[in-house]
Structure 1
């Protein structure tokens, strides 16, 4: 990165801030607004229409900001901000009703392909070709529609865009795909002028190599990604669940699934360390914890505390997970000075 560009992350309860933004509002790349719908902001904002669990706030805001000057713009349906010359944050939010099915493709499949084609077009136009992290939120993700689960339809469209834009799936970004009860499809992303290093979990089959039992096209993401800036490493942990090999473990047992999820996250921390990165620990990450059933929140939080020791840096939300037999999914990111 350029010397004056440093990516940072923070969380805010908007009810406790008079201006509803961090003090460095002029350097905000963008944000996720979790919970109740957000009011319009001058920076790209991803709506995360998921109820907060175990938190008295009606909404939380997670900010990505930079020390570099920010330029904002729009590219097709994408609202974006660029920090300096080398870090880009964007959000594309599309209503499925605006897309007409055609040629045997569902509206969701076409929407996913169109959204990702726009995304790749923006990255090329802004000379930030390297995706670091993507957040995908899809209404009714597990529902069967047009003879196929909606998540599988999304995966087909996403894969088609990767193929059409010559993006190799084995260097995919860190990512997640979660389900909302309703609302639009929303995709947020971080990209840069320099690549992040994709990381895989040796106890799991790579998601992009899943067998066809999980759909005609595999999910397109890496288990984690390791980026660097100035004297600091940034670790992005994709949405992680109780999967070993390619199979779900502990169906019906949310506590065991949470512990297995942390076993997978711990392996990814080891993989980052093997790449001579800073030594990340579970306690130093910021987490978002997705729980399928709100009633499972106490059990998930108890297991989280057993694994991490403190959940002050965790946000819990109710969401549908990409497989119907998964009860919990956890994502994270962390910043650490170089060794």
Structure 2
């Protein structure tokens, strides 16, 4: 067992103390009050703590998690959230450099009030600034070779980051229907988001694919404001385009279809769950693993965001 992410506020049961664990305040919208992602791999594992990052790693992959309460971050210059984000990623990159896993593969970011205005700007923009500063300070590219990622607004709690990293660099996948997030125009903030639309690890057997949080964006603009059904449909058009690109670059005929993946669906308004669920099942069928949680999406006019993954060892409990 590499690590665990627990979503929701129910009792997730006993977690072994050696396992790095991320706890996320995103209420689960159907089924049990909490949901666990349990990440596994083969071979002997090393467990450790570096700064605030708890981690566990195999020969090829590392899972890590940390949280930083904004109240503990010193005030001055940038906002507390920007400071917390930059500090978190600096610690992550320090660990990865030290352990030899320089390729950040997938990152999950959660913090409250993502669309709130504070300290003169939207908090999501503050997060983007802190993340980009840390990438630059850590000698990482902020365009092209960047990880798959998402950033969601939670019901409360600290800034929380959990992630997977590899020894061998994955392939960053972009969506031909969308402007690369790191090339967004300045109307979305002075610092562009630092992530790829998907990331494909060809060093794993079978290859592992992570599709970043995907929403109703074409080019760089939000489509279908206030229409959650149309936004869900547009999100799947984007995921399908990403899968086609992944299939184009993958060797040996590796292909991922919509029904081959596991999904995490973030719904802004719980009242929209029925409409979103129907749209999701229309595309992925009744057998694909899907969890629906309540979270705020990075743009205030987006009502739903969908992430997906395939080829990995994941359990849901």
TM-score range, shorter chain: over 0.9
Q: CA-to-partner distance for each residue in 1:165-199, whole Å, 9 max, x for gaps?
A: 12111211000000002101100010011010000
Aligned partners of 1:283 and 1:310 also within 8 Å: no
CA–CA separation in structure 1 for the residues paired with 2:153 and 2:204: 36
Shift of 1:309: 1.8
Match of 2:297 in 1: 321
Relative to structure 1, the CA distance from residue 221 to residue 262 in structure 2 (aligned partners, 3 Å threshold; closer, same or farther) is same
Match of 1:127 in 2: 100
Is 1:93 the counterpart of 2:93? The answer is no
Residues 283-322 of structure 1: pairs in structure 2 closer than 5 A: 283-310=259-286, 312-322=288-298
Match of 1:74 in 2: 49
Match of 2:5 in 1: 32
- Among candidates 13, 33, 51, match of residue 27 of structure 2: 51
Match of 1:158 in 2: 131
CA–CA separation in structure 1 for the residues paired with 2:160 and 2:310: 23
CA–CA separation in structure 2 for the residues paired with 1:232 and 1:221: 23
CA–CA separation in structure 1 for the residues paired with 2:261 and 2:94: 32
Shift of 1:276: 2.8
Is 1:118 the counterpart of 2:95? The answer is no
Shift of 1:228: 2.4
Aligned partners of 1:35 and 1:48 also within 8 Å: yes
What SS does structure 2 have at the residue aligned with 1:260? Answer: helix
What SS does structure 1 have at the residue aligned with 2:192? Answer: coil
Aligned partners of 2:259 and 2:283 also within 8 Å: no
What SS does structure 2 have at the residue aligned with 1:198? Answer: strand
Aligned partners of 1:134 and 1:190 also within 8 Å: yes
Shift of 1:312: 4.5
Aligned partners of 1:255 and 1:299 also within 8 Å: yes
Shift of 1:246: 0.3
Backbone CA RMSD of aligned residues? 1.3
Is 1:61 the counterpart of 2:36? The answer is yes
Shift of 1:230: 5.0
The range that moved more, 133-142 or 310-319, is 310-319
What SS does structure 2 have at the residue aligned with 1:329? Answer: strand
Match of 2:164 in 1: 190
Relative to structure 1, the CA distance from residue 295 to residue 232 in structure 2 (aligned partners, 3 Å threshold; closer, same or farther) is same
- Among candidates 207, 210, 230, match of residue 233 of structure 1: 207
Give unpaired runs (5+ residues) of structure 1: 1-27
The range that moved more, 245-254 or 45-54, is 45-54
The range that moved more, 261-270 or 277-286, is 277-286
Match of 2:315 in 1: none
CA–CA separation in structure 1 for the residues paired with 2:93 and 2:177: 31
CA–CA separation in structure 2 for the residues paired with 1:36 and 1:259: 29
Shift of 1:116: 0.6
Is 1:243 the counterpart of 2:217? The answer is yes
Aligned partners of 2:61 and 2:166 also within 8 Å: yes
CA–CA separation in structure 1 for the residues paired with 2:297 and 2:114: 8
Match of 1:11 in 2: none
Aligned partners of 2:170 and 2:203 also within 8 Å: no
Off by >2 Å, runs of 4+ in structure 1 = 37-42, 228-231
TM-score by length of 1: 0.88
Q: CA-to-partner distance for each residue in 1:231-266, whole Å, 9 max, x for gaps?
A: 411110000000000000000000000000000000
Q: CA-to-partner distance for each residue in 1:32-53, whole Å, 9 max, x for gaps?
A: 1011165653211111211111
TM-score by length of 2: 0.94
Aligned residues: 306
Residues 253-292 of structure 1: pairs in structure 2 closer than 5 A: 253-277=227-251, 278-292=254-268
Shift of 1:334: 0.2
What SS does structure 2 have at the residue aligned with 1:34? Answer: strand
The range that moved more, 327-336 or 134-143, is 327-336
